[in-house]
C-alpha cells in the first residue's frame, strides 16, 4: 500500500534508501574515473599513448555495454537490492585489483572487471527511485541522485592526482575502493519493492501475461523512448570526453601539474551537482503546465550546452568561465531524460528500459568519446579534439526535440500497475 504523498514507503525511509543509492553512485564514479588523473604517471611508467589512456576509460563502458542488459533482466525479475549489493562489491574489489597490475593488458582487464560490476547499477538504482518516489517528483529525485555522478567524477579526478603525487598511482586505486565496499554491504539490508508481474490489460479489461516479444515490440513502438536513448548517447559522448580529457587539456595548454589540472578540470564537472538537481526541479515544475515538458527541457539544455562549449573551445579558445557554465548545463538533461525512460514503459521492465538507454549511450557515447578525443589529439592536438564536442551536444538537442512530439501519446498508452513494498 502506497504511503501518503505518493511514497512507496515512509518518506524518511525513502530518503534513507536514496542516501545509500547516492553514495554508491558517487563511489561508482570515483572508481570509474580515478584513472583519468593517473594518465601522466602511466604514460611515464609504461610508455602509453593517448589512445591507450582513452581505452582505460572506455574499457569500463565496453563491459557495461555487454553486461547491462542481462543484469537488468535479473534486476527486474529477481531483486533490486541483492543485485545492486553484489554489483557494488564486485566493482570495489576490481578497483582494488588495479593497484596490483604490472602491465597495460592487466590494467585493461581489471578496468573491464569494474565495468562488469557497474553494468546494472544505473538501471537498478533508477528503477528503485522511480518506484519509491511519487511520479510528480521523479525528475527531481533523479536529478539529485545523478548529482552524485559529477561529485564522484570530480572526487575521483582530484583524489587520483593528489594520492598519485604523494604515494604513487597504485595507492590511488587501492584507497578509493574501500568506502564503496562498506556501503555495498549495508545495501543488502534495505527493503525492496515486490517484483512487478509482466501483465497487460486487454481492451476487454481482462489481465493477460506479456511475453518478451511483446515487450520488445513495445520498446520499438515507443518513439519518444528511442529518441531519448539516442539523444542521451550524444550528450554522454560529450560529458565522458570532458571528464576524461579536461585535466590533460589544462596540463598541456596551461602547463599545470596534474594535481592542479585535475582539480581545475574536476571543478568544471563538479558544477553538475547544481545543474542536475536544478534540471530535475525545472523539468518537474514545467511538467505541471506542459505535458511534454521533460523532452523539451532536455532539448533546450542540450542545445545550450552546445552553444557554451562552442564559445569556450572555438570562439574564446579555452575560456574557463565558459567551461564552468558548460559544467552547469551539461548534466541538466539527465534527470528529465532518465524519468522519460521510466514514464513510458511497463513498470515491470523499468530496469530493462534504462539498461537499453545505458547500452546505446555507451555504444555510441561513453565508449567512443574518450577514444575520439585521444585519436584526434594524437594526430593534431587536444584543443582541436575538444573543439569538435559541441556538434554532438547539438545533435542531442535536435533528437530530444523530435522525441517531444511523441511523448504524450507514448505516455497515454503505458500500462499503469500498482507497485508494493516487500
374 in Cβ contact with 249 (< 8 Å):
no
Confidence band for 93, pLDDT divided at 50, 70 and 90: very high
pLDDT of residue 151: 84
Which residues are bridge partners to 193 per DSSP? Answer: 421
Q: How far is CA 276 from the centre of its chain?
A: 11
Is the predicted pLDDT of residue 340 greater than 90, yes or no?
A: yes
User: In this model, does residue 126 exceed pLDDT 60?
Assistant: yes
pTM, to two decimals: 0.77
Q: What is the pLDDT of residues 208-253, one digit of tens each?
A: 666 677 778 888 899 999 999 999 999 999 998 987 888 888 888 8
Instruction: Give 135's pLDDT tier (boundaries 50, 70, 90).
Output: confident
| C-alpha to C-alpha distances, 28 to 120, 151, 156, 394, nearest whole angstrom | 11, 11, 10, 28
119 DSSP assignment:
T
> What share of the chain has pLDDT > 70, as a percent?
93
**Burial bucket for residue 133 (CB in 10 Å: 0-12, 13-18, 19+):** buried
Residue 381 backbone dihedrals phi, psi, to 5 degrees: -160, 170
> What's the pLDDT score for residue 200?
66
Name the DSSP class of 311. Answer: I
CATH of domain 4-193+216-412: 1.20.1250.20
2 pLDDT tier (thresholds 50, 70, 90): very low
The residue among 283, 349, 351 whose CA lies nearest residue 121 is 351
What integer pLDDT is reported at residue 70 of this predicted model? 87
Query: What is the rounded radius of gyration, in angstroms, for the C-alpha atoms of the chain?
Result: 21
Average pLDDT, the chain: 86
The arithmetic mean of pLDDT across residues 301-324, rounded, is 93
Confirm if 95 and 31 have CB atoms less than 8 A apart. yes
Residue 6's pLDDT is 64
- Cβ-Cβ contacts under 8 Å for 287 (sequence gap 6 or more): 136, 139, 293, 294
- Go through the chain and tell me how many residues it has: 422
CA dist., res. 131 & res. 401, Å (int): 27
263, 320 in Cβ contact below 8 A? no
Q: Which residues 6+ apart lie within 8 Å of 96 measured at CB?
A: 173, 174, 177, 178
Q: Distance between CA 192 and CA 178 in Å, rounded?
A: 25
Does residue 305 surpass a pLDDT of 90? Answer: yes
pLDDT of residue 12: 84
Residue 38's contacts (CB-CB under 8 Å, 6 or more residues apart) are 160, 161, 164, 169, 172
Asked if pLDDT for residue 176 goes beyond 60, the answer is yes
Model confidence over 365-404: pLDDT tens digits? 987 888 899 889 888 888 999 999 999 999 999 999 999 9
Task: State mean pLDDT over 245-262.
Answer: 83
- Predicted confidence (pLDDT) per residue in 270-286, tens digit: 788 899 899 989 998 99
Three cell numbers written together for 262: 585535475
Each domain of the chain, given as residue ranges in start order, spans 4-193+216-412
Instruction: Give the range with max mean pLDDT: 49-53, 164-168, 392-396, 415-419.
Output: 392-396
pLDDT of amino acid 1: 44
Helix (H) or strand (E) holding 346: none
CA dist., res. 292 & res. 287, Å (int): 7
* Closest C-alpha among 255, 44, 55, 265 to residue 168: 44
Report the range out of 1-10, 16-25, 256-265, 393-402 with the highest average pLDDT. 393-402
According to the model, what pLDDT value does residue 203 have?
60
Instruction: Give the C-alpha separation, 115 to 377, whole Å.
Output: 25
Nearest to 396 by CA among 307, 280, 319: 307
Amino acid at each position: 500500500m502506497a504511503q501518503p504523498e505518493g511514497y512507496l514507503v515512509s518518506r524518511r525511509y525513502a530518503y534513507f534508501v536514496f542516501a545509500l543509492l547516492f553514495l554508491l553512485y558517487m563511489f561508482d564514479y570515483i572508481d570509474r574515473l580515478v584513472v583519468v588523473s593517473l594518465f601522466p604517471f602511466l604514460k611515464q611508467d609504461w610508455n602509453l599513448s593517448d589512445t591507450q589512456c582513452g581505452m582505460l576509460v572506455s574499457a569500463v563502458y565496453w563491459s557495461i555495454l555487454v553486461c547491462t542488459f542481462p543484469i537488468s533482466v535479473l534486476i527486474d525479475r529477481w531483486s533490486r537490492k541483492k543485485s545492486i549489493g553484489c554489483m557494488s562489491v564486485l566493482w570495489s574489489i576490481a578497483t582494488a585489483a588495479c593497484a596490483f597490475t604490472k602491465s597495460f593488458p592487466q590494467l585493461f582487464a581489471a578496468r573491464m572487471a569494474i565495468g562488469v560490476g557497474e553494468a546494472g547499477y544505473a538501471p537498478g538504482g533508477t528503477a528503485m527511485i522511480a518506484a519509491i518516489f511519487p511520479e510528480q517528483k521523479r525528475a527531481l529525485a533523479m536529478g539529485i541522485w545523478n548529482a552524485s555522478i559529477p561529485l564522484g567524477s570530480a572526487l575521483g579526478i582530484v583524489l587520483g592526482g593528489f594520492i598519485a603525487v604523494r604515494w604513487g598511482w597504485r595507492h590511488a586505486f587501492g584507497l578509493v575502493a574501500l568506502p564503496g565496499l562498506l556501503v555495498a554491504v549495508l545495501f543488502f539490508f534495505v527493503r525492496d519493492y515486490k517484483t512487478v508481474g509482466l501483465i497487460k490489460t486487454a481492451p476487454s479489461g481482462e489481465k493477460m501475461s506479456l511475453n518478451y516479444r511483446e515487450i520488445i515490440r513495445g520498446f520499438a513502438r515507443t518513439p519518444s523512448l528511442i529518441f531519448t536513448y539516442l539523444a542521451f548517447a550524444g550528450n554522454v559522448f560529450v560529458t565522458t570526453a570532458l571528464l576524461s580529457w579536461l585535466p590533460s587539456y589544462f596540463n598541456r595548454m596551461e602547463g599545470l601539474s596534474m594535481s592542479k589540472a585535475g582539480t581545475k578540470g574536476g571543478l568544471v564537472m563538479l558544477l553538475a551537482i547544481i545543474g542536475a538537481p536544478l534540471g530535475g526541479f525545472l523539468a518537474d515544475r514545467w511538467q505541471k503546465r506542459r505535458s511534454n515538458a521533460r523532452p523539451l527541457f532536455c532539448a533546450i539544455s542540450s542545445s545550450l550546452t552546445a552553444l557554451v562549449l562552442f564559445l569556450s573551445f572555438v570562439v574564446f579558445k579555452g575560456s574557463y568561465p565558459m567551461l564552468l557554465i558548460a559544467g552547469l548545463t551539461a548534466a541538466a538533461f539527465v534527470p528529465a531524460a532518465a524519468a522519460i525512460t521510466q514514464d513510458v514503459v511497463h513498470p515491470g521492465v523499468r530496469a530493462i528500459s534504462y539498461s537499453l538507454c545505458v547500452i546505446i549511450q555507451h555504444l555510441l557515447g561513453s565508449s567512443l568519446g574518450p577514444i575520439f578525443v585521444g585519436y584526434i589529439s594524437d594526430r593534431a592536438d587536444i584543443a582541436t579534439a575538444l573543439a569538435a564536442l559541441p556538434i554532438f551536444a547539438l545533435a542531442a538537442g535536435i533528437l530530444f526535440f523530435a522525441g517531444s512530439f511523441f511523448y504524450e501519446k507514448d505516455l497515454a498508452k503505458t500500462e499503469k500497475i500498482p507497485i508494493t513494498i516487500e
